[in-house]
Structure 1
Amino acid sequence: MKIGIGKSLGAYRELLKIRGAPGFVIAGLIGRFPISMRALAAMLLVLAATGSYATAGAIGSVVTLSNAFAVPALGRLSDRRGQRWLIFTALIVHAGGLIALVLLTRLGAPLWTLFAAAAVFGASGLPLGSLVRARWTALVGGTPRQSTAYALEAFIDDIIYLTGPVIVTLLAGYLAPTASMLVILGMVLVGWTALALQRSTQPELAPVPAGPRRGAISEPGLRALLLVCLALGAWLGASNVALVAFADEQGNRSLGGILIGLTILGGMIAGLVYGGITWNIPLVRRLLGTAVLLGVGTLPLIFAASFWWMVPFAVIAGLAITPTLIGIYSVLSNVVPKSSVTEGFAWIASSIAVGSSAGVAVSGWLVERFDSRSALIFMAAAGLLSPLVVAVNERLLGRTPHAEVVATGAPDRVPVKETAVSPSGE
């Protein structure tokens, strides 16, 4: 295992020297910014028109949940029909849903029409991160560069989730709620179109085995991995509620946003370092190790006596979150067929979103019924559940199936080699 800041940064420089990589990374960055913006933007749009937090919150939930349930199907369509076809098709529907929601809200249309438009808007939101990761898998799958690529994408996700909500609130506050929706539309048009036009890095349609087509969810390894993601999502959702509630009990609710940001910052830094390391530890053992660190690192939050004690504890708690996500995406490449890799990535995103929604609901109830400490205990329990699931399913997740020959004679899997070579693949 080789560690060094210079070596870590060098791994990312080498990665971005791959022909076509900078183009789809930038397009993916622009195009998936709306992932962290659309539910909040829709909520603020409806809130300004109706004055009802209940209605606005329900609209935001519809956008989020419709997307969570739709993205596995969108991922499967990408594997079956290709990214270019899916992007242009979804672009028309997504833009239509967004414009309809804005117009119906401004015209004071019946409430059910707003929910219908919100469902279309959410369900047509592409899992662009999954599409970009599928391109990386096609380019560097089976090499040590794969972990570096996933670390880069995790870093981009962190930037998006840190800044996206801020952009929405600033636009809605200083201009109008409609402005944030129009910015989302612009990002979608530019980012999605730019990605679709980059055909040279688009994954080829993989041949599928003869017989009935099975989805990625039929793979036992993926189902085990989704249990880890549900626990991880619950941790993320609980952290948003528990840390804000803790800050509120300390006398300043707005400081909760700082604590949440510190957990993300800790994960960003650790993820960048993790992705630049040359590992000779088996992949699933690394996933188990980072999951253990996530659970154990959350425990100090329970005992924080003041905001200033919580500051370093929040950073420590977040250190393992991004490395754990990188490990999950890397293991995924071992347990699903190449013909279903985008769908597999989409299932990961969907299960984390569902787990996060559950984490928000449970921790919110705990805060209302008891206090922030009870929500922090739930958060720690979710963190400790992740390594337990990995440990129970270690043999299943650690299997690297041999390349299966399908009707065309092409390999059906993307093996990940655990050889100790440099991050640049040399």
Structure 2
Amino acid sequence: MLRPYRDVLARPGALAFSLAGLLARLPISTVGIGVVLAVSARYGSYALAGRVAAVVVLTQALCGPPLSRLVDRHGQARVMGPAVVSTVLGLGVLAGTATAAGPVWLLYVGAVVVGATAGSVGALVRARWSHLLTTPAEVHTAYSWESTLDEVVFMVGPVLATVLATNVVPAGGLLLAAGAAGVGGWLLLAQRDTEPPSSAGADHVGGPSVVSGSLLVLVGSFVGMGAIFGATDVAVVAFTQELGRKPLAGVVLGVMALGSGLAGFAYGARSWTGPQWRRYGVGMVALGVGVGLFGTVGTIPALGGVMLAVGMAIAPTLIAGNGLVAELVPRGRLTEGLTWVGTALAVGVSAGSWAAGTLVDRSGSSGGFAVVMVAGGTAAVTTLLALPTLRRATAGAPTTLAVPDDRAGRPTAAAGLSRRSRRRRRPDRT
């Protein structure tokens, strides 16, 4: 199981940029819960906390794809260097305003700055992998590795943010996000040898936008999945607070990430021959069914058990979804394409956190979990409706990602072949 991971991480510079990316994307698991913990503690309103978190994500949804388009054109360091500085400043405004219980409008200013400049670190790292590796199987393993690290972020981040917010300062989660964004971003962008070449001066395939009808339906299902995550964050914080165990909120959220990380690691160690769209559909339906169990929990151990089971469906679904993006977008637009689905996920998180925060204020954690279950059902149905379109759009595509064979971006012949085709062309071993 470990050999595929050892092989890809042994590539020059691979482990270094992957670990830098791990630190740089810690904010994706700490900003949301950091806002909820800081704002609810100082302003006494989950609804306000949900709105501020929603502004972060909605702004990122608007600005993320154009920012990634600039990255594809001009390079990661040139575009994201100033963006990282702005993100850190915006998080500082959020943390300082919340700590001082300052004017609400200033919370929104900080949220807008963070959302507009955060970008998608996951897309940056995956683009480096696609540039570095030479076979579809290797890229599948690398993407699975990154999805596992995503879950490590979601295991560790909420726990650290909760501990800091409940034991040190309410804005501790936001301060943690600022430090990770600054240090991790600098470490990642400083590694120029593994940075993909920019497309400046080349034909920018696909016009001003990479969005197609098939990508749009994938984006729609990612919105539903994101709503599950956003509503779950708020509902879990409210549930643990009702039981007088609010510091355990981060631990419970980490349990879901643990299940996801384990499943993603096992998924990436296996070579899959079935189409990505089918695996994505199975994962989304499993996720929708799993969150329906939230209506049965009444204790923290029971909630932890359901979170673990739900988590097992997350990483494999995300890996298959990211794989679908590589089959749907032009080669030179991968960062932008991955950012679109990441943005869709973020929009869902925003909507889910806002809706759950509103219902928690009215009817407690049960209202928040109701939002989670509705989001799960909606995501499953949306995905089932999208599968025929995805199947047609990816007909004949390889079951894993096609990647370039050199820095000029020319695809190898093997990279464009399905597993079945490669078996037919394998030379006689005699």
Please report the TM-score for the alignment, with normalisation by the length of structure 2: 0.80
Offset of residue 393 of structure 1 = 1.9
Residues 338-387 of structure 1: CA distance to partner in whole angstroms, max 9, x if unpaired? Answer: 22111111111110111122233445566756956744641441352254
Q: 2: CA distance between counterparts of 1:187 and 1:172? A: 16
When structure 1 is superposed on structure 2, of 382-391 and 157-166 the one drifting more is 382-391
Decide whether the 8 Å contact of 1:146 with 1:330 is kept in 2.
no
- 2:262 matched to which residue of 1? 269
Decide whether the 8 Å contact of 1:337 with 1:413 is kept in 2.
no
Offset of residue 222 of structure 1 = 1.4
Residues 55-95 of structure 1: CA distance to partner in whole angstroms, max 9, x if unpaired? Answer: 55544433333223221121111111110101212133223
Q: Does 1:35 align with 2:28?
A: yes
AA matched with 1:32? R
Q: 2: CA distance between counterparts of 1:196 and 1:16? A: 18
Q: Does 1:216 align with 2:210?
A: yes
- 1:3 matched to which residue of 2? none
Decide whether the 8 Å contact of 1:142 with 1:416 is kept in 2.
no
- 1:10 matched to which residue of 2? 3
When structure 1 is superposed on structure 2, of 234-243 and 18-27 the one drifting more is 234-243
Name the CA shift for 1:252/1:284 in 2 (closer, same or farther; >3 Å): same
AA matched with 2:381? L
- 1:151 matched to which residue of 2? 144
AA matched with 2:310? A
Residue from 205, 222, 225 that aligns with 1:229: 222
Decide whether the 8 Å contact of 1:84 with 1:196 is kept in 2.
yes
AA matched with 2:154? Y
- 1:406 matched to which residue of 2? none
Decide whether the 8 Å contact of 1:154 with 1:325 is kept in 2.
yes
Residues 209-235 of structure 1: CA distance to partner in whole angstroms, max 9, x if unpaired? Answer: 478832222x22211210121121123
Name the CA shift for 1:197/1:305 in 2 (closer, same or farther; >3 Å): closer
Offset of residue 145 of structure 1 = 1.6
AA matched with 1:419? R
Name the CA shift for 1:103/1:322 in 2 (closer, same or farther; >3 Å): closer
Offset of residue 38 of structure 1 = 3.1
Residue from 382, 391, 395 that aligns with 1:395: 391
Decide whether the 8 Å contact of 2:227 with 2:348 is kept in 1.
yes
Identity within the alignment, %: 32
Decide whether the 8 Å contact of 1:234 with 1:357 is kept in 2.
yes
Name the CA shift for 1:27/1:51 in 2 (closer, same or farther; >3 Å): same
- 2:180 matched to which residue of 1? 187
Decide whether the 8 Å contact of 1:239 with 1:379 is kept in 2.
no
Equivalent residues in 2 for 1:23-422 (5 A)?
A: 23-41=16-34, 58-101=51-94, 111-140=104-133, 142-177=135-170, 181-206=174-199, 208-209=202-203, 213-217=207-211, 219-241=212-234, 254=246, 259-302=252-295, 311-363=304-356, 368=362, 371=366, 374-375=370-371, 377-399=373-395, 417-419=417-419
AA matched with 1:65? L
Name the CA shift for 1:360/1:208 in 2 (closer, same or farther; >3 Å): same
Report the 3-state secondary structure (helix = DSSP H, G, I; strand = E; otherwise coil) of the residue aligned with 2:2: helix
Q: 2: CA distance between counterparts of 1:303 and 1:170? A: 28
Q: 2: CA distance between counterparts of 1:208 and 1:134? A: 18
Offset of residue 297 of structure 1 = 3.8
Report the 3-state secondary structure (helix = DSSP H, G, I; strand = E; otherwise coil) of the residue aligned with 1:213: coil
Offset of residue 328 of structure 1 = 0.4
Residues 224-258 of structure 1: CA distance to partner in whole angstroms, max 9, x if unpaired? Answer: 21012112112323444556677788x56657665
Please report the TM-score for the alignment, with normalisation by the length of structure 1: 0.80
Residues 173-206 of structure 1: CA distance to partner in whole angstroms, max 9, x if unpaired? Answer: 4443566555444323321122112111111124
Decide whether the 8 Å contact of 1:62 with 1:119 is kept in 2.
yes
Unaligned runs of 5+ in 2: 403-407, 424-430
When structure 1 is superposed on structure 2, of 322-331 and 188-197 the one drifting more is 188-197
Report the 3-state secondary structure (helix = DSSP H, G, I; strand = E; otherwise coil) of the residue aligned with 1:201: coil
Report the 3-state secondary structure (helix = DSSP H, G, I; strand = E; otherwise coil) of the residue aligned with 2:193: helix
Q: 1: CA distance between counterparts of 2:329 and 2:375? A: 30
Name the CA shift for 1:292/1:141 in 2 (closer, same or farther; >3 Å): farther
When structure 1 is superposed on structure 2, of 119-128 and 95-104 the one drifting more is 95-104
